[in-house]
Amino acid sequence: MGYRDAGPGEPGADDVVGFGRDRQPRRPWQTGALLALAACVVVAFAVVRLVDDGHRPGAPSQSQPLPVVTQASPDLLGVTGSWELFARGSSFLVRIQLASGRVTRTLVPPLESNNPVVAFLVGPQEAVIRSYDEVPGYLVPDGAPARQLTGVLADYVGPLLPGPDDSQAWALVSEPEYDRLALVGLNGKVTGTSIRLPLGGALPATAIPDERGYAMLLTSANRIYDAGPTWDRRVPSTVIAIGPTAWLSLSCHRRCRDVVTDANTGVQRTLPGPGLTDSAFTWPTLGVISPDGSVAAVPVSQPRSPGGVALDLVNLTTGARTQTDVAMNPVPAYQGMAWSPDSRWLFVVASAGRLVAVNPATGRATGLGMPLPPVSQVAVMPAPG
């Protein structure tokens, strides 16, 4: 397996995974550490057994303790809404209800894999933690001990993506030839809805969330598509950041420019100024766009950061960049950033696993005012309704 850069003017392959020996040298701003993450995500997908017999989660271990609930100050970060923040560490899950200050910590057995790409899904009543490798994953019901996944949500290798509803997920299907993602409830029930891989795509296509409940797909032909049950659209340039209303891409022809694409219409506009050629735009895409579509948070290669990777914010109207005071790990975490539903806060896994909240208006980071062990992933559960 190798990596291939697009030739001049070639769309959609500025930095995507290629196969075989026909490859070109990397551009100088692309760090080797981040490429390791891209290499890990392309996995050999095994057979998915989807049987509509429901999800029978394994019983928790007899020695598994109950979750521990503590009380922090209410209205953390000035939040009064009922949305919740989740953070995952190597052996625990923490659920933070910021408005009430209620913090629930649940022990979760470590995953038996070194693959850094882990699906971390939060639903209305549970969270799911699943490696892209064929190792046990876990269901963490609210207020109950973690349980090992079984059946539909466990018996496969590959991506597990959030669905259009918080209680659903997309899983790769083996029939007839690894050519579709099936929509499955977090309770294990198959819905009958699926996304076919574009252009007859098959193994080893890879997929990441498009932040709208559907999929952004990298096919074996090195092409990227945004896809749902009734459509697939070619993404014409390298994706830097993804959000529910738009994505940010780097388009390089005679020179590199940043391009914003409306996620619903496909209409594009080019931002003023030079492109983010220092962005860590390996696959899977690590940048995230605020729900209101105003700001993109992008990990960038920066000598100013001790680990060589820092966080920049990009104004998606003016193209202006704000350097934050957040130093990130040399290999930033997949799902290492999440926006609050009102776009007022960006939660980031910073260096050494510190969980910080960034104010996008100032670029300043703050802690949550509570002791936490190092975390690796974050997710936000919107308020009910």
Where would I find the beta strands (DSSP E) of 34-142?
A: 68-71, 84-88, 92-97, 102-107, 118-122, 126-131, 138-141
List the strands of the sheet with 138-141, edge to edge: 118-122, 126-131, 138-141, 147-148
Give pLDDT tens digits along the chain (385 positions).
Answer: 332 333 333 333 333 322 222 333 333 334 344 434 443 333 333 323 333 333 334 445 446 789 999 999 899 999 999 999 999 999 999 999 999 999 999 999 999 988 888 999 999 999 999 988 888 999 999 999 999 987 778 766 678 899 999 899 998 766 656 677 889 888 778 888 988 877 655 544 578 899 999 999 887 777 888 999 998 888 878 899 999 999 999 988 889 999 999 998 889 999 998 888 888 766 788 999 999 999 999 999 887 777 789 999 999 999 999 999 899 988 888 899 999 999 999 999 999 999 999 999 999 999 998 889 999 999 999 988 6
Q: How far apart are CA 128 and CA 121, in angstroms?
A: 5
- How much is the pLDDT for 149? 87
- The total number of structural domains that make up the chain: 1
pLDDT the model gives residue 11: 34
What is the token pair recorded at 333? 């975490």
Strands 238-242, 287-289: pairing kind: parallel
Range of the domain at 53: 2-58+67-381
Q: Are 115 and 40 in contact (CB under 8 A)?
A: yes
Q: If we measure between CA atoms, which residue out of 377, 384, 383, 369 comes closest to residue 121?
A: 377
CATH number at residue 29: 2.130.10.10
Q: What are phi and psi of 310, to 5 degrees?
A: -125, 175
CB within 8 Å of 284: residues ≥ 6 apart: 37, 38, 41, 117, 206, 208, 334
Q: What is the pTM of this model?
A: 0.83
